[in-house]
Amino acid sequence: MINRDYLPAIGLGFTQIMGYGTLMYAYAILLPAMAADLGLSLSYIFGIFSLGLFFGGLFAPLAGKLVDRIGGRWVMTVGTILAACAVMSLSVVESRTGLFVAILLAEGAGMFVLYNVAFASIARLDLSVPPQRSISIITLFGGVASTIFWPLTLALYTALGWQMTWMVLGIALLITCTPVHFFCLRGAEVKPDSMPRTSAPNWPQLTGPARRRGMLWMVVSFVFSGYLMGAVMTLWVTNVQDLGHSAAMAALAGAVIGPFKTVGRFLEMLVSRNMYPLFTYALSLGLMLSGFGVLLSVGFTLPGVMLAAALYGMGDGIKTIARGTLPLALFGAKGYGARLGWISFVQMSVNASAPFAFAWATQTFGGWWSFAAMTVCLCAAIATYTYIPDPRRDHDDTAQDRRMPENS
């Protein structure tokens, strides 16, 4: 029998599939069709989407603070209703202004229902399951969102057109996720002023100057490692074709990324009980860098591009877990929601430009050089990662210093 304390994470995992499927992945299928009908260029309509992502990032700190103050149950329930209404509003847009407003509303509401709020909400619940394990379970489900929603959205669009597809997606989001958020997030919560919890009892937190230094270098590393995510989603097929593959082979290789995100998260979940998040994050960066190394060296072959997609997918999947567990381990559960919100705001503010920057690199220098620029970003993420203090080492050094007078 499943421990009942796992049910909130399982429920949130399901809603992340729905949330990312409707609020992120559906755009790749429906925006090009909307651009054609509304008389807009593809770059223009994806520019609106980038502005929507930036606008959504503005609400991330607010969403996190609300979770810290009142818990995730009402934040995610009301956020789901607002997000569903915004998605349904996309079905009735008739102008660029209407499209702009609808996307901004959808992405703004999305900040109240997607990963960061889900992580903060699960950390607030008083459960026997460590927050790190719950976060791993949530991301394990969320990893299949693209695998499910790209073909599902395409099938709906082919049968119904983009207007009815947005309506169906919005209704599905409303009737499935609203009750899950309302009922799965019930129960006792950890009081904000109580002793902060971590995912393991012996993991100390950063304090003093090391705390500020740790936050700085962690955020900078997150920005570098996350900068290429949107570029990979939008430019993978184009860049892989430039390496000498057909569009069909490039799309097939891209389809490998999603399932291997889930594979990476599943493997991490099996060993996460004793894995410190700093190591988890390093592992994710190493796998992603290995994928790009394979891509740049033997990506012109079919086995090479498939292996590269698998390695990158595993690394990116594990990185999503580390994005939630590393701030929890380094800084504790107190203020966790607001902390994730500000981190998300910084990331989204910077990363909104990534698709345009790498598209320029592809058009100017070619797909191989665009992938090379992404590799440089990963190297920068690894370099800045090395500056993140390890509180376990600092804690051990402090404890040893305190023992020295007693032993002298």
CATH for 296: 1.20.1250.20
Same domain, 147 and 265: no
Same domain, 155 and 223: no
Q: Which of 257, 237, 229, 261 is nearest to 350 (CA)?
A: 229
The CA-atom distances, in angstroms, between 292 and each of 94, 266, 310, 374 are 41, 22, 11, 8
Angle at 38 (CA atoms; ends 35, 39), nearest 5 degrees:
80
**pLDDT, position 400:** 47
Same domain, 258 and 160: no
Taking the C-alpha atoms of residue 153 and residue 246, their distance in angstroms, rounded to an integer, is 23
Last residue of a domain, one of 152, 184, 216: 184
Taking the C-alpha atoms of residue 146 and residue 316, their distance in angstroms, rounded to an integer, is 13
- Residue ranges with strand state E in 19-150: none
The CA-atom distances, in angstroms, between 318 and each of 39, 284, 372, 378 are 40, 5, 22, 15
Same domain, 176 and 255: no
CB 228 within 8 A of CB 257: no
194 within domain boundaries: no
Last residue of a domain, one of 184, 218, 251: 184
DSSP H/E element including 273: none
36 within domain boundaries: yes
**pLDDT, position 246:** 86
Same domain, 168 and 235: no
Same domain, 179 and 273: no
Same domain, 178 and 223: no
Profile the chain (408 residues) by mean pLDDT over runs of 10 residues: 79 93 86 87 78 85 90 94 96 91 93 91 86 85 80 90 96 96 84 49 81 95 89 79 85 82 84 80 96 95 94 92 89 86 87 79 88 95 96 61 48
HSE at residue 187, side-chain half, CA atoms within 13 A, is: 18
Tell me which residue has tokens 């997000």. 83
Taking the C-alpha atoms of residue 321 and residue 258, their distance in angstroms, rounded to an integer, is 15
Show the domain range for 140.
4-184
Distance in angstroms between the alpha carbons of the first and the last residue of the chain: 55
Task: DSSP for 355-400, please give it.
Answer: HHHHHHHHHHH-HHHHHHHHHHHHHHHHHHHTTS--HHHHHHHHHH
Taking the C-alpha atoms of residue 216 and residue 387, their distance in angstroms, rounded to an integer, is 9
Angle at 347 (CA atoms; ends 90, 203), nearest 5 degrees:
125
Last residue of a domain, one of 142, 168, 184: 184
405 within domain boundaries: no
The CA-atom distances, in angstroms, between 396 and each of 153, 182, 299, 360, 400 are 52, 43, 45, 48, 6
